[in-house]
Amino acid sequence: MSDSQPPPTCPRHPDRVSYVRCQRCDRPTCPECQRPAAVGIQCVDCVKQANKGARQPRTAVGGALAHGRPVVTLTLIAICVAVWLVQWVYPPITSDMLFAPVQGEHQPWRLLTSAFVHSPRTIFHIGFDMYALWICGQYLEPLLGRARFLALYLISALGGSVGYVLLATTPSSPTDYYNSGWYTGTLGASGAVFGLFLAMLILGRKLGLRTGGLVVLIAINAALSFIVPNIAWQVHVGGAVTGAVCGGIIAVLGREHRQLQWVGLALVVPILVALAAWRYSTVTLPVGF
């Protein structure tokens, strides 16, 4: 090198002299911008360019392959637990977030917020729902990818509330107020969880996995919905049917049509809204309400 020629410097850090060159673009590369390659090193820009052209690994049903902890599952659990703790400090939040069909027409957000609030009187309610969410999430989130799993959870939660609207009884007289499901509040993530259960079952069958144990688990929980008092079985039915539909959409379209999966999932939402709107249009409360 002649004395008149300046030493090579890193394009990203012009103040750093760099005698090592990238194996792809042959530009000088400082230690901070160097990335190990099969032979020698590559600069960070070449590595980024190569990654753009690389095909992202996908699961059997088209979900983006994610490594590590099920982040969405843990976040949903953390939100539910945080809300449950707030319920102890600020009890009115329970009534602010729960859902009764009579409220849905004018406060539609309750159809979703009710899935994040649980009974403050016992730890078993939130404990069971969060345990079931953890079990389902460990399987479904890596399979579907984080975005599809979150969509499945939220749509199933909405479907659970819509199921309650469709199946709840209306009062036959003003004195029948307390016996009517139309005025009875419901809360908990069980509708969404039942949606995850059914999606797991359908996707497991699609992939040729053994699902006998899951069928037994679903049957037991379904039976408890009708045997144990004060459980809104209508929410479980609505969530289960919605989760089955969403799981079926993903299973039928598969990895080859993964973008269409989003279209199918998106269409489920207006269908649920239309069903709820139809039910509200048919309900006529007796004089006195």
Can you tell me the distance from the alpha carbon of 262 to that of 218, in angstroms, rounded to the nearest whole number? 26
Q: What is the 3-state secondary structure (H, E, C) of 84-106?
A: HHHHHHCCHHHHHHCECHHHHCC
pLDDT tens-digit profile of 152-174?
A: 999 999 999 999 999 998 887 76
| Structural element, H or E, at residue 35 | strand 34-36
Residues 89, 231 within the same domain: yes
Mean of the per-residue pLDDT values for the chain? 87
Residue 286 inside a domain? The answer is no
Can you tell me the distance from the alpha carbon of 266 to that of 261, in angstroms, rounded to the nearest whole number? 8
pLDDT at res. 288: 52
Quote the number of domains for the chain.
2
Residues 16, 155 within the same domain: no
Residues 38, 75 within the same domain: no
* Residue 45: domain span: 1-54
Residue 102 inside a domain? The answer is yes
**Residue with more model confidence, 70 or 179:** 70
| Structural element, H or E, at residue 74 | helix 71-89
**Residue with more model confidence, 30 or 155:** 155
Residues 41, 80 within the same domain: no
Residue 287 inside a domain? The answer is no
Domain boundary pick from 25, 54, 83: 54
Stated pTM of the model: 0.79
Residue 150 inside a domain? The answer is yes
pLDDT tens-digit profile of 176-230?
A: 766 778 889 999 999 999 999 999 999 988 888 777 888 888 888 888 777 777 7
Residue 64 inside a domain? The answer is no
Residues 20, 106 within the same domain: no
pLDDT band at 77, cuts 50/70/90? very high
Q: What is the DSSP letter of 21?
A: B
